[in-house]
Chain A
């Protein structure tokens, strides 16, 4: 199968959905003529024209708010927020409007919109350009929150997100854009929202991962296989709504759980997964779940400090080793 980079796969998803449906429009900072600072929207202006691909001012509240308004009128806007950090400026629109509009209107409206953003942890961008906080949105029912970990999933999930009638926050790992290539089918396919994916079968320990840590978990599983430990890797892909069944099913088989994600440990995605498993499958656990996260600190700039701050395959492998000892 041909291989595409993460960014190329996303670009293809946008291109295909825009060809398929003229209600799909794109706007964000530098997405049109520059093709996106990370080239995810490259060539879209040329193909679809300035009415469908728009450069916005540096106004995140207006970007997300305009997506809300356009979606209320039946368009399928895909708004890009350049860095996840900048999303905080548009949070009122995302959390208090997009996520609530359907509910508080008694089900009258729907908002088929996608807000794409990327987090740059691993690219030495410092405290204000590296944040990863998707777990905040676990407190915002009404939003779907999607985090692809491979180029194939990135394409299939983004296509599904665009076709979904609910507001979707689509969080990409910027460090993977051009550094990760993977097989992407040439024929049309979708990856469903709300479903986890078992990326590797195993019997001894379940490692639940999401976004950038999926690759780290798979690398850890390779290493551990050489050591005689069989690891199952479950990629969450959507954290809201979360595929509880897939996680619980895996834990019932392996009886041991490690959760690895780029959140800081306190209140992160892993915390929710651990709590859910303890609640729903306590009797199947042979040991307490183990979380592998960033420490509860802001992201440091200094390259070696940032590396130490981040979850990697070695940290995940160590957690698994402790569990099976």
Chain B
């Protein structure tokens, strides 16, 4: 018996091919800068939590920076995105101002969601075409299908882009949403960030079958697999997949292999992960990987890197300072957020 599953595996892009992708030096440096912004932002957030200045659940994007940055660069800024509770990186990569993201984490009125949403919904920014960030695993998938339905109905050339993790592949919403998108040939690009752990449980221990990608393929989606820690490979894969979707080919699905640098949430030490496994992945963590490639290609040097780091530090310092001193939403205002009046 022959296995008919068709999954396109996109190999790691060598530095010598960057030019073929139309990625000039400015774009490459910009991508590294976006990844570093997320990295330093999340490190600061972690510190603020450990200092007790921030409280509540928060799921850091550390280690997955290449996925958000690569995908956001490959799609259009007007493509609506569905994010998740691990969404700080999606927001920053989309260009949501760090001060608005930080203010939301502080629960302040200047936040993206006026402090009402918090970390798990911080990415919601209509201005930046992120109309939903869901805190329920898998639930963004049918919503993304609905966004695609609206875009298709209106005859727009925009596509919906939905982010979720490996855990989502075991939900009913995954099955129902992917099937609906495929049956109706909706313009949706599904991005699975397989960071190997569903909360504290290794995905492999609660997942049978060949792969998450194989499931998507079985539902009839054009499916890709790629290494998610290499930002240019992510970019290339998302570019191919988004062109397929935008061209009217129906929905596409990408499974990116990546790795959480830290625990599920900010307080989780991830003690349950084997040391060897962590070390293996750290050798391939996205920022040092991309930095060394850019250095090797002569695109960046230590001086430029320092400059970027300083710029980012200033942005984050300001974001924290502003967030700390800005006001909370008056409680009474909450009543105006429940229903649209009139």
Q: Which residues of A contact B (CB under 8 A)?
A: 25, 51-52, 54, 56-57, 59-62, 64-75, 77, 89, 92-93, 96-97, 101-110, 141-142, 144, 164-166, 241
Contact = CB atoms under 8 A, between A and B. Distances in A.
Contact of B121 (A64, A105, A110): A105
Contacts of B173: 61-62, 65, 92
Given A75-B153, A107-B336, 17 more contacts: A54-B184, A61-B177, A69-B82, A69-B148, A70-B146, A93-B142, A102-B338, A105-B116, A105-B121, A105-B124, A105-B126, A106-B113, A106-B114, A106-B124, A110-B340, A166-B339, A241-B339
Residue from A59, A67, A102, A166 whose CB has the most chain B CB atoms within 10 Å:
A59
Contact of A69 (B126, B146, B329, B340): B146
A64 to B, nearest CB: 8
Nearest to A62: B176
Contact of A106 (B112, B134, B339): B112
Interface string B33-51: 0000000000000000000
Contacts of B115: 106
Contacts of A101: 132
A108 B180 contact: no
Contacts of B121: 104-105
Interface size classification for chain B: 35 or more
Given A96-B136, A105-B124, A106-B337, A72 B180 contact: no
Contacts of B337: 102-103, 106-107
A181 to B, nearest CB: 34
A69 B338 contact: no
Contacts of B180: 56-57, 59, 62, 66
A106 B117 contact: yes
Contact of A109 (B82, B124, B136, B142): B124
A232 to B, nearest CB: 29
B323 interface: no
B336 A72 contact: no
Interface of B: 80, 82, 111-117, 121, 124-126, 131-132, 134, 136, 139, 141-151, 153-154, 160, 172-173, 175-177, 179-180, 183-184, 329, 334, 336-340
